[in-house]
Structures are given as structure tokens and as C-alpha cells.
Amino acid sequence: MNQEPRATQFDPQLARRVLAFVKPYWKQVGLALFFILITTLAANALPLVFKFAIDGALAPKTPLPVAERFQTLAVAAMVFVGLRVLDFVTRYAQTYTLAWIGQHVLYDLRAAIFDKLLRLHVGFFDRTPAGRLLTRLTSDVDAIQQFITGGLVGFAADLFMLVGIMAFMLVLDWKLALVAFAVMPLLLLVTTWLRIRMRAAYREMRARLSRMNAFLAENLAGVLTIQLFVRERRQEEKFQEKNRELLAAYIEVIRWFAPFFPVVGFLGELAVASVLYQGGGEVLRGAVTLGLLVAFIDYTRNFFEPLRDLSDKFNIFQSAMAAAERIFGLLDEPEYVTDRPGARPVSRLRGEIRFEDVWFAYQNEEWVLKGVNFTVRPGEKVALVGATGAGKTSVISLISRFYDVQRGRVLIDGVDVRDYRQADLRRTVGIVMQEPFLFAASILDNLRLGDEGISLERIREVCRMVGVDEMIMKRPQGYHTRLGERGAGLSTGERQLLALARAMLHNPDILLILDEATANVDSETEAKMQAALERVSEGRTVIIIAHRLSTVKDVDRILVFRRGELIEEGDHDHLLRQGGYYAKLYALAGGASLG
Amino acid sequence: MRTDRSVPPLHRLWSFVRPYLWKYVVGIASGTLSLVFSVLAPYFLRRTIDRIQAGEAYLPFILGIVAAGLLAGLFSWLQRWVAIGASREVEADIRESLFRHLMRLDFYYYAEKPVGDLMNRLNTDLQAVRDMLGPGINMGFRVTLFIVFAFAAMFLVNPALAAAVLAVAVPTVLVARYLMHLADRRWREAQEVYDRIAAKAEEDIAGIRVIKGFALEAKEREAFVALNRAYIEKSLALARVEGPLQAAMSLLLGIAVLIVLLKGGGEVVAGRMTLGEFVQFNAYLTLLTWPVLGLGWVLGIFQRGQTSWRRLLELFDEVPRVRDGPETDPSIRALSGEVVFDRVGLRLDERRILAEIMLRLKPGMTLGVTGRTGSGKTMLARLIPRIIDASEGTVYVGGHPVRKIPIETLRRHVGMAPQEPFLFSESVFDNIAFGLEHPDPDRVEWAAKLAGVHEEILRFPKGYDTKLGERGVTLSGGQRQRVALARALAKKPEILILDDALSAVDTETEAKILQGLKGVLGQQTTLIISHRVSALRHADWIVVLEGGRIVEEGTHESLLRLGGHYAELERLQRLEEAL
């Protein structure tokens, strides 16, 4: 996935994909366009009311009775009110419909991205910073919404208005209309020129801003180094330099930005003046009425607004294109671990695990497991032992099918894990992580994980068994204690015990895998953990990544890994007698800890 | 900037604005002129219409319109150029002074503040302040003055009609204000849900293994979608207010137009008002639409700007705990390498880190420090260059208590190489010369050779000019450590601290580097913190820390004889080598 977007130009294929998200709402889009059309008509009819009032009441060409003139004025006022109300209603309906469409597209896009994230395999998350994924869901989606409501439909609205005004003017008096339009080429020329300059200046400004921000971030991160080397003053000078460069870029932007609206305003006045000049003569000759002239001045003024907005829309298009490219980049990310068609549902497992010549690498050919073979019998308790990087964690990940093997097979109850439905497999395979992840929710919610069918009694029972109930009940709010982000507020040991309880509650049947690293746990918690392990292992297959001797002594069998290979297996005494790698590890540990 | 909490926040902003005061004055003056001309244009329009109606020559007034438009445009241009530019200059000054301040905040501050948060604050808050000083002041001024001018002009034409329009305009502003307020509140409500969506996504991404491990995908999706649904509701609630805002404004102004049409029209029919005046009135009403809306917008900018400014002031008001104070003696310029810890203790957040440390290092002596992770070794080293200050007892350097030595002087005499060094995304050369007043290629090369990294640097694409970091070469852990060591050595410090500084380098290379250091320098006091006996064994004195206390000390041989922690460490490392 690319951080830097390449698409800054309009890309029809990308636009089509974005539009596919709008398609389900084509009826609403049609409705919005309808409202826009009515608004255009209503807004353009207003000057005609004035024409009608002026010609019929305020300045009639032929003398009329005063009563009739007042009557005309009253009619004009009523029509005016009617048009205004219509304008209000359709304008309101238009804005609301647009917001509705935008929000629903947004919703669909977010759901699509979120679904995609849930389907992607764990390896993807190892490689991709969370912040980047979050940006896809937030600011990138927002940019698309801008594109649809502000850009696409706003574009249509401006276009309608522009065409509407031009049509009204041409129909009313094409000669006068052409006089009003005479300024247009000049306006387009000047604004396009200013805009090009502005865009170039703006781009330079963005580049300098990001340079300054990078410098700032780096200096804040390395502030202690700067202080230790007494570099504060020189870093300040450098910062000043970057800051001044940025300022110069800002000033350059302002240079082109400052004249923009004044120029547009002046050209507007110029157009009004030309219409007045030409129209005035025609009024004097009796070719047009005074009312028409006044109406024309209104049209000329209105004419400039959509013209000015229209070019603004292109900026929105550009940033939306970049966002769309990033979003679809994520949506197109290949999913490596997927359910096969007709994958096998399963609710209970006996718990036999077999690795058949398993080769596995996280990337390329950097093998983490090299031809591993072993079988764990149902109900057996096995420990994995080895140095860091020997491949123990990978074994565990493969059983849960967080990754797929490159060669060989992982079988559970004689069936390849790739033939099970992922959800079923993982529901029956419980896992406790090295660094257990808890949600920012209550302890209860963390244990239940949304399954309201689990009673509090059952929860407490399991917690008592694991030995964490007492710790929970000591807190004023007991099981309703809210945890902070990632379980903040608990010690590592407590988190591990909770994670163990959680696994027990949800996968009580078949197989429990513990990835246990208790380096940061005090001895009391360690003892608790030990006792808990003892109790939970009854009647199920258990695989433990063991670091401590006490664990290892208790298991039925030990598998010793070294650099991705299974080099020794047997129980503790047997392995010690063998006098191999395990025996050395044991001696090195000095009876304290392993690997 | 001196910090003084008794000064009100906006006064402190004033000190930044003052240097550019003349620009603001010029800006505001030209803004006023521009407005005068804008208000004049409808007047010429009226005269033109009246002339046309009377069948008289109208060209001079049309030229008047063009001239007024031109002058209004020119002055408005000048205003925008000068005043918006000024706000950027003020922003740059504030940013600079913030940076200077941030460079002086200490370890205690940065230990608690994630850089991301700080960056966020600097960017968003500074932008809000700038918006207040630039567009805020400009627009606020323009909008207010325009309303005043337009009404003044209307009153001049026809007081009764103007009063009627004013009667409508006042409630219009109030309604606009109310709707904006409501929109603001709903926007915040929507934003809260939005934040929860982001938080949910963030948590789920972080906890993806748990979600997959417990097959929670469907449930999480449901929860996520529910939040999104709530967001749609909140957003549409916002749209229901925002939608009518603009529409309602034009409707309310429509009432004013209606009054002009009916009442003003009546006056025209009755012959008490000319058609030109009628058109002039309408022109003002059209021109007023934007200022009435803009007024609310400007108020919002000012509100946000002030909140942000207050937050920036909080940052300005952070005072570093480690700094030169009244007890600092500026006459101390040179220091010997003598380091003494006299009953030194350290607490951080009520946690005891070090206790009862008694050490005396004569100049040129090498001290080895070892102990488990968390035993306080790094903190012990940090006391010497005053990254932190002792809570109890005194640290002496060169015979002076460290608090008396000017911090700059102290730090110039200490070179430190940490386990996880921070290198800058500059060239290798600049990184090694980081502590030098005048970059000296010979010195840099000498230091790199000593640190055992010179030959590797020569193999980089551009040698010493190779850029490091994101856009340059990525160094291995061991290379980073050695570049950082070279950086510390280049200073030729009186006191050299190696805080596990070669942990990513293999034992053999480490031994060679340490041997080299002894041979060439020899005269500097050296503190070596390490887990490796091989790095410690040649030290003149070795201390073992546990729980912040010195539990064993002596020479390599005497500690081995003692048979305590150090001897155990040595035994394990021997075994490991054998394995």
C-alpha cells in the first residue's frame, strides 16, 4: 500500500469505482438533482418579479391609475413570497438530501473497509502501521464524501445555476446578455492564471510545511540528545531557517490569493456597468423597459457566484482521487488466509494435532520452521522449549491458522486446518497471548466478549478456578471495573490471568494453547498461574510455550526447537539423561528459566 | 518568552502582534477605504437609474461605478495582502518561540508527552490562532464595518425604510447566531461518535489477533456498524440544522426585500422615492447576505482561536525542572573528570530508583556498572549530565556540585552513548560532528575509527556524506550504536558514559573497541554500563546494582572471589559461549 498517493490527476477508472458506491442511491441523487433544478428556477424567477413590479407599478411607461399600480405591487409581493418559500423548501431539501447521500456512502465505504480489515490475515497487520489503516477509515473516507456531496453534486448545482442564469438572460434580451458575458473571457483568463499560480505556490507551501513538520517531529523525538550535545541553539537556527522558508512560501500563496476575490469583484462591477451602459441606451430608445434593465443587473451579479465556485471544485476532485487510490489500494490487498469453498464446520474436536513436514516463513524464503514433524495426542500436555526465534510461537500461530504454511500440512483430528471454517476452528482453539490484549471495556465484557449467554456465575466459577476472582472482587466495582486502553490499570500478571480465564470461558471444550511468558510476573502471581494451568489442562490437549522449569517438569512431553527445527523430544528426565541441547539449556538456566 | 501567569492570555498574544502593528493598521485602513468604495457603488447605480428614467446623460455615473469597483478592489487587495501576511508572520514568530521553549523542556516533560500529541497541538492550535489573527480579524472587521456602512447609507436614503429593514435584520442575525450555535453543538455530538468510531477501529486493529482468535469478527462488525449508524443519525441531525441555515438566511433577508418591495415600492408609486433609490436599497440587501452569515462565522473563529491560544500558553508555561538557577556559578568554565556520588538517591513518581549511592571516580578512571534490567544503571548515568536531578545527596563533577555548574558547561564535558541512540536524518558526518562547535573532518574520522565504524562508513554509497534515516541508508543496530559512540567521542569529553552502548555489537568487536579507547584516550573518566562481563572485566572498579542500591563492588577478580551476582553472571556467560 502506498503512503504517497500518485493519483493527483483525474483517473476515470478510480472515479468509476467511487461512483459504484453512489449507485445504490441513484434515486436520491435524482431527487437531489430535481431539487437543484427547482431551486435554480425559483432563484432565477426572482429578478423577474422585480421587473414586473418596476414596469407595472414603479415606473410604468404609460401613466396608469395609482390603484392599479398598487394592485400590481401587491401581486408582485405575493409572487415574491411564494418564490422565496419555494426556494427555501427546495434549498433545504437539496442540502438535506445531499447530506443523506453522503452519509450513506460514507457508511458503506467504512463498512467495506472494516470488513476487509477483518478478513485480512494477521501477517498484514504485522507489516502495516495501525495509524495508516486508521487514516483509510477516517480522513480518506471523509475526502470521498467531500467529493460526492461537495464536489460531484455541488458541481452539478453550480452548473445548473450557471446554465439557468445564462438561459434566462439570453431569452430576456440576448444582446444585453452578450454584453454581460463579454467580461467572461477576461474573468476566466485572469482567474485561471491566478489559480495556476496559486496552485503552484500552494504545492510549494505544502512541501515546505511537511519538511518543517518532519524537522520538528525529529527534534522533539531527539530533544534529549540535542540537550546532551548542547545543540539547542544551532537546532533553533535550523528551525528558524525552515520556518522562514515556510513563511516565504505562505507569503507567495497570499500574493496570488489576495487579488483573487478583489479581481472577481471588480470584474463583476465592470459587467454591471457595461450592462447599464448598453441597457440605458436601449431604455432611452424604448427598446427595453427599465424593469428589465434592473433585473439584468441582478442576473449579472448572480452569474459570478457559481462561476467562482466552479473552479474550486477541482481541488476537491484532486484530494478525493488521492484518497480513493489509497482506499481501493487497501480493498484490493490480497487475502491470504481464507475459507475454502465448502469448508468444514466443526463444533467439537478431539484435540489431536499433527505437523507433517511443515515449512513456514513470514516472508520470502526466510524459513522460520524447516520441515517440522510431530503429533500431539488428544488430552496430552506438551511444552515447547527453545531460544528466542527458534519457531515456538510460529507453531502456535499455525495451529490457530493465523498464517498458512508454505509446505506440508497442519492437521487437527486428521483434517488439514485449511479445510475447517476459520471461525469454527478458532472457536475451538483457545489462545492466550504473550502480551494479552484486553479491550477498553469492563472486566465482565472482556470475559464475555459479547456472548450474553455466559452467566456471571459461570464467569466467577472460571475466575475462581484460574485464581483471579479474588483480585477482581477486591476492586470497588468488581467485575464491572472498567479497564483503560489495552487493559491499562492491570499488571501484566493480572492481564495474563484474565486472558486465561477468557480463553477458558470461550473454548472450554477441546484445546487450549498457552503462549506463556512470565518474565514480568511476581512470584505470587506466578504460583497462581501455575496452579491455574494445572486445573485447566484437565481433559484437553494443551500446548505451552514454556520458559520456566516448573512448567516443564509438569508436562507429558517436551518438544525442543532450535532454529526452526525440532531437535529433541521426550519428558524432562529423559531429555536430561540424553545430555543434548536441552540439558545444556537447563544448565545455562541455572535452574531458573529457559529460553 | 518570559512566562508570567498573572498576565491575561490576550495580552501575551499582543506581544507577538505588536511588531506587526503597522501592517494591521495599513490593512485596516485600506479595508475601510475599500468598504467606503463598495458602499458607493450602489449609490452610483441609483443615480444612473434615475438619470436613465429621466432621460438624461448617465455615463459619468457608470464611470463612477467602474471607478468605485476598481478602488474597492485595489484596497481590498492591499488589505488582504498586508493583513493576512502579517498573521503568517505572527504565526512564524510564535512557532519559533515555541520551538525554543520546547528545546529547553526536560526529560520529565518528554517522558509523559508523546511527540504525536505535541505535534498535533502545535499544528491545530497554531492554525486556530493564526485563523483568528488573519481571516478572523480581517473578516470580523470587514463584516462589521460593512454592516454599519450599509445601514448608514440606507438611513441617508430613506430613514423610515432603513429602520424597517433594521427591524428585520436584527432578528435575522440572532436567528443565524442561534442556528450556528445549534449546528456547533450537533457537530460536536457527531464528532464524539466519530471519535468513538476511530477509537473502535484503532482498538480492533490493535487487537486483531484476539478478534480472530475468538472468532469475534461478526460481533465486532455489528458493533462497528452500530456506531456508524449512530453517526449517520447525528450527522443528519446536524444537516437538519445546517441545511436551513443558509436557506433560512435567504428567507429572512427575503422578508427585508419584501418590505422594500412593498413599502419602498409604495413610496415610489406615491412619488416620495425615486426608482434609483429603490434599486440602491435592494443592492445593499443583496450585499448584506454574506456579512450577516459571516458574522457568526467570525465569532466562531475567535472562540476557537482563544481556546487554542490558552492551550499554547499552557505549553509556554511549562517550566523545566532541570535548569540553571540562582545557585548556578557562571564562573565555572572548565571541569576535570572527577565524579563523586555522595549519598545519592533518586525517586521518580514516588518510585524509588536509586538509594545511598556512594562512588568516587578519579580523573581517568574506568568504572563498570552492571545489574538487572530496572536496577537503576541508566538513571545513575543520567545524573551526571543532569538529564535528571538527584532527589537526595549530591553529585559532584570536577569538584563542583552539578547544580552549581552551568548546564551547558557540564554537558560539554560529558559524552554519552546510549543503548538505543537517536540519530538524525542528516549525513553520517553531521551526525558524528553533532557536538562539535566547528565540524572538523579529521576529528570526525578519528572518532569513527575509534568507534570501529570508519571502514563501514566508507562502504556506504556516499561515504561520510550518506544521509541517514527515512530517505537515506538504514543502519543496523550495531552500526547505529557505533556512530553514536563516535559522536560522543568526537567531543573528546572529560567524562565518557557508555550506557550499554555496544550491546548490538558482537563481543569480540566490542572488546577491540574498548581496548582502543583505553589506548588512545586513557585520560578521560569512563563509565561503562553493561550486561557483559567481557566489557566490564578491565574496569578499574565494578559495581553491581540491584533495586537501586550497590550490592557488590570491587575489581573483576575480587568480585569473582566474592561469588555473588557478578560471579554468577560470569559463569552464565561462560556457559553461553560454550553452547
Residue in A with minimal Cα distance to B487: A229
Q: What is the pLDDT of residue A3?
A: 39
Q: DSSP alpha helices (H): ranges in B207-274?
A: 208-213, 217-259, 265-269
Whether residue B173 is contained in a domain is answered as yes
Phi, psi values for residue A415, rounded to 5°: -115, 135
Q: CB-based contacts of A25: which residues, under 8 Å, 6+ apart?
A: A101, A104, A105
Confirm if A316 and A146 have CB atoms less than 8 A apart: yes
Q: B356: part of which helix (H) or strand (E)?
A: strand B351-361
Cβ-contact A360, A398 below 8 angstroms: yes
> A410 — phi, psi (to 5°)?
-110, 120
Give the H/E segment covering residue A529: helix A523-536
The full 3-state SS of A423-460, as one line of letters, equals HHHHHHEEEECCCCCCCCCEHHHHHHCCCCCCCHHHHH
Around A440, how many Cα atoms within 13 Å sit in the side-chain half-sphere?
Answer: 12
Q: Which one-letter DSSP state was computed for residue A344?
A: B
Q: Which three cell numbers stand for residue A305?
A: 457566484
Q: Do B361 and B274 share a structural domain?
A: no
Count CB-CB contacts under 10 A for residue A515. 21
Domain stop point among B316, B348, B370: B316
- Rounded to the nearest 10 degrees, how much is the dihedral formed by the CA atoms of B303, B306, B308, B313? -170
Domain boundary residue among B268, B285, B316?
B316
Helices (H), B317-398: 377-382
Residue at B203 is within a domain: yes
> What DSSP line would sit under B458-497, residue for residue?
HTSTTGGGPBBSTTSBPPPHHHHHHHHHHHHHHT--SEEE
How many CB atoms lie under 10 A from the CB of residue B235?
Answer: 25
| Domain carrying residue B44 | 10-316
How far is Cα B189 from Cα A250, in angstroms, rounded to an integer? Answer: 34
Report the distance separating Cα A531 and Cα A528, nearest Å: 5
Nearest Cα residue in chain A from B98: A236
Q: Do residue B279 and residue B352 come from a single domain?
A: no
Q: Which residues pair with A129 in a beta bridge?
A: none
C-alpha cell at A31: 431527487
d(CA A214, CA A233): 18
- How far apart are the two ends of chain A, measured CA to CA in Å? 36
Q: Which own/partner contact pairs does A71-78 have at CB distance under 8 Å and 24+ positions apart? A: A73/B261, A73/B262, A73/B265, A73/B266, A73/B269, A74/B262, A76/A49, A76/A50, A76/A52, A76/B261, A76/B265, A77/A53, A77/B258, A77/B261, A77/B262, A77/B265
Please tell me whether residues B201 and B62 are part of one structural domain: yes
Sequential pLDDT tens for chain B (579 residues): 444 556 777 888 999 999 999 999 999 999 999 999 998 999 999 999 999 988 888 999 999 999 999 999 999 999 989 988 999 999 999 999 999 999 989 888 887 777 777 887 788 889 889 999 988 888 888 888 988 998 999 999 889 899 988 888 888 778 877 887 888 888 888 888 888 888 888 888 888 888 887 788 888 888 899 999 999 999 888 888 877 777 777 777 788 888 888 888 888 888 888 989 998 988 888 888 778 777 777 887 888 888 889 989 988 999 998 889 899 999 999 999 999 999 999 998 777 889 999 999 999 899 999 987 778 899 999 999 999 999 999 999 999 999 999 999 999 999 999 888 888 988 999 999 998 888 899 999 999 999 999 999 998 888 999 988 755 667 878 889 999 999 999 989 999 999 988 888 887 888 888 888 876 656 789 999 998 888 898 899 999 998 899 999 999 999 999 988 899 888 877 766 655
**Strand (E) or helix (H) holding B58:** none
- Tell whether B265 and B359 lie within a shared domain: no
Measure B463 CA to nearest chain A CA, in Å.
Answer: 23
Q: What whole-number distance in Å separates Cα of residue A157 and Cα of residue B193? A: 30
pLDDT for res A363: 74
Edge-first strand order for the sheet with A565-570 is A429-432, A511-515, A541-545, A381-385, A557-562, A565-570
Q: State the cell numbers at B42.
A: 450602489
- Nearest-Cα distance to chain A for B444, in Å, is 15
Q: For residue A537, give every residue at least 6 positions away whose Cβ sits within 8 Å of its Cβ, in sequence order, or none.
A: A381, A512
User: For chain B, first and last CA: distance in Å?
Assistant: 61
Q: How far is CA B293 from CA B139, B150, B248, B257, in A?
A: 11, 15, 11, 17
Q: What is the ipTM of this complex?
A: 0.84
**Is residue B325 a part of any domain in this protein?**
no
Report yes or no: A533 and A547 within 8 Å, Cβ to Cβ: no
B21 and A CB contact within 8 Å: no
A132 to chain B, minimum CA–CA distance in Å?
Answer: 10
Three cell numbers written together for B86? 502579517
The grid coordinates of residue B455 equal 571502514
Q: Which three cell numbers stand for residue A53?
A: 413590479
CB pairs < 8 Å spanning A and B: 348
Distance between A9 CA and the closest CA of chain B, angstroms: 25
Which of B255, B285, B316 is the last residue before a domain boundary?
B316
Among residues B390, B322, B388, B389, the alpha carbon closest in space to that of B355 is found at: B390
Residues from chain A that touch B89, judged by Cβ atoms under 8 A, are 247
**Under DSSP, is residue B545 helix (H, G, I), strand (E, B) or coil?**
strand
pTM over 0.90, yes/no? no
Q: What does the DSSP 8-state code read for residue B434?
A: G
Q: Which of B168, B212, B238 to mutate to test the interface with A (most CBs of A within 10 A)?
A: B212
Cell numbers for B339: 565524579
Whether B179 is covered by a domain: the verdict is yes
CB B227, CB B197: distance < 8 Å: yes
User: Is B460 contained in some domain?
Assistant: yes
Q: Per the domain annotation, does B409 fall within a domain?
A: yes
**B541 touching A, CB under 8 A?**
no
Distance CA B61, CA B48 (A): 6
Considering only CB atoms, A76 lies closest to which of B58, B218, B261, namely: B261
Q: Are the Cβ atoms of B197 and A110 closer than 8 angstroms?
A: yes
CB contacts under 8 A, B 59-98 vs A, are: 59, 62-63, 65-66, 68-70, 72-74, 76-77, 80-81, 84-85, 88-89, 92, 95-96
> Cell digits for B454?
570508519
The β-bridge relationship of strands B414-417 and B495-499 is parallel
Residues 203-262 of B with CB under 8 A from A: 203-221, 223-225, 228-229, 231-232, 235-236, 238-240, 242-244, 246-248, 250-251, 254, 257-258, 261-262
Which pLDDT does position B330 carry in this prediction? Answer: 93
Site from B210, B245, B272, B481 to mutate, A interface, most A CB atoms within 10 angstroms? B210
Q: What is the pLDDT of residue B470?
A: 58
A557 min Cα distance to partner chain B (Å): 23
Distance, in angstroms, between A522 CA and closest chain B CA?
14
Residue of A nearest to B276 (CA): A294
Question: And the C-alpha cell for B384?
Answer: 551526571
Contact flag B210-A437 (C-beta cutoff 8 Å): yes
Separation CA A77–CA A80 (nearest Å)? 5
What residues of chain B, 431 to 470, have a C-beta less than 8 Å from chain A? 434-435, 469
Q: Which residue of B has its CA nearest to A236?
A: B100
Could you tell me if B220 and B82 lie in one domain? Answer: yes
CA-to-CA distance for A58 and B264, rounded, in angstroms? 10
Output Rg (C-alpha) for chain A, integer angstroms.
Answer: 37
Taking Cα atoms as reference points, which of B32, B58, B34 lies closest to residue B45?
A: B58
Q: How far is A259 from chain B (nearest CA, A)?
A: 5
Clarify whether residues B268 and B361 are in a common domain.
no
Which one of A125, A221, A433 has the shortest CB-CB distance to B422?
Answer: A221
Helical ranges in B260-274 per DSSP H: 265-269
Domains of chain A: 12-331 (1.20.1560.10), 353-588 (3.40.50.300)
Domain membership flag for residue B326 = no
d(CA A582, CA B198): 48
Q: Which of B49, B70, B131 to probe by mutation at the A interface, max A CB count within 10 Å? A: B49
CB-based contact A569:A360 (threshold 8 Å): no
- As given in the structure block, the three cell numbers for residue B469 are 534515516
Does residue B321 form part of some domain?
no
Order of strands, edge to edge, in the sheet holding B549-554? B414-417, B495-499, B525-529, B366-371, B541-546, B549-554
Are B245 and B385 found together in one domain? no
Phi, psi of B416, deg, nearest 5 = -130, 135
Which CATH number characterizes residue B569's domain?
Answer: 3.40.50.300
Residue A29: half-sphere exposure toward Cβ, Cα within 13 Å: 18
Are B224 and B345 contained in the same domain? no
Kind of pairing between the strands at A511-515 and A541-545: parallel
Give me the CATH number covering residue B222.
1.20.1560.10
B307 and B348 co-located in one domain? no
| Residues B286, B355 within the same domain | no
pLDDT per 10-residue tile (average), chain A, 595 residues:
44 83 91 91 90 88 85 91 90 87 89 90 78 79 78 79 91 92 88 85 86 87 88 91 93 90 90 92 89 90 77 68 85 87 85 92 83 91 80 86 91 91 85 77 86 87 86 86 74 78 72 52 64 77 75 83 89 87 74 46
Please compute, for residue A438, the number of CA atoms within 13 A of its CA located in the half-sphere on the CB side. 30
Same domain? For B417 and B373 the reply is: yes
Compute the nearest-CA separation of B18 from chain A (Å). 18
Do residues B426 and B441 touch, judged by C-beta distance below 8 A? no
Report pLDDT for A520.
45
How many domains does chain B fold into?
Answer: 2
Pick A217's closest partner by Cβ from B62, B96, B115: B115
CA–CA separation, B117 and B105 (whole Å): 15
pLDDT at A550: 63
Distance CA B3, CA A538 (A): 66
Report d(CA A142, CA A154) in Å as an integer.
Answer: 16
Name every residue whose Cβ is closer than 8 Å to that of residue B243 and which is 6 or more positions away in sequence.
A91, A92, A95, A96, A99
The reply to whether B57 touches chain A by the CB within 8 Å rule is no
Q: How far apart are CA A138 and CA B202, in angstroms?
A: 11
Contact between chains at A213 and B119 (C-beta distance less than 8 A):
yes
The β-bridge partners of B473 are B468
Q: Is B474 exposed, middle or buried (0-12, 13-18, 19+ CB in 10 A)?
A: exposed
Nearest-by-CA chain A residue for B493: A229
Contacts of A119 in chain B (CB under 8 A): 217
Same domain, B26 and B150: yes
Q: Which of the residues A3, A58, A309 would you substitute to probe the B interface, choosing the one with the greatest number of B C-beta atoms within 10 Å?
A: A58
